[in-house]
Amino acid sequence: MIEPMTNELGWMLDDVLKVPEARHAILLSADGMLRAHSADIDRDDAERLAAGLSGLQSISRSTSEFCGPADGPWRQTLIEFGHGFVFLVAAGEGAYLAVSTGDEVDMESVTYRMHKLVDRLGKELSSPARLDTGSRA
């Protein structure tokens, strides 16, 4: 049986949201599993978004040769909507940090806080790939 997520790191994600116009933050693993979420987003929405953002990161990674050598490391993806942005950054081995914002956000402040959070948490944010998922597929 899988134990329910305790969201132990959720309070740390709230720090990124101190930037005006920052809305939500989630921490996810490479395989789309939710690791933590900020207080202002419910777990069901955070889990759904973690799955989608994992796919987005994978697609972003697959287009690296568009910028140069295909073996260059992926660092960040930015998505812009008419009403805001989604920032997605690497947060350790197999882990990603995503933050959503309004359209008037100071982009530099958000990315700075995100990278400082990743630096501060270090090993806490790493999520090694799962070796055995229990599936035969």
The pLDDT of residue 131 is above 60: no
pLDDT value at residue 41 = 95
Under a CB-based contact definition with an 8 Å cutoff, are residues 50 and 26 in contact? yes
| Domain containing residue 13 | 9-65+74-123
In a domain, 129, yes or no: no
In a domain, 35, yes or no: yes
The pLDDT of residue 33 is above 90: yes
* pLDDT band with cut points at 50, 70 and 90 for residue 2: very low
Spatial separation of the C-alpha atoms in residues 55 and 109, rounded to whole Å: 26
pLDDT value at residue 25 = 97
Digit-coded pLDDT (tens) for 88-122: 999 988 899 999 999 999 999 999 999 999 988 77
Give the containing element (helix H, strand E) for 111. Answer: helix 107-121
pLDDT value at residue 68 = 82
pLDDT value at residue 130 = 54
Task: Give the chain's domain count.
Answer: 1
Burial class (CB in 10 A: 0-12, 13-18, 19+), 97: buried
* pLDDT band with cut points at 50, 70 and 90 for residue 124: low
In a domain, 2, yes or no: no
* pLDDT band with cut points at 50, 70 and 90 for residue 84: very high
In a domain, 130, yes or no: no
Q: What percent of the chain has pLDDT over 90?
A: 58
Q: In CATH, what number is assigned to the domain containing residue 43?
A: 3.30.450.30
The pLDDT of residue 129 is above 80: no
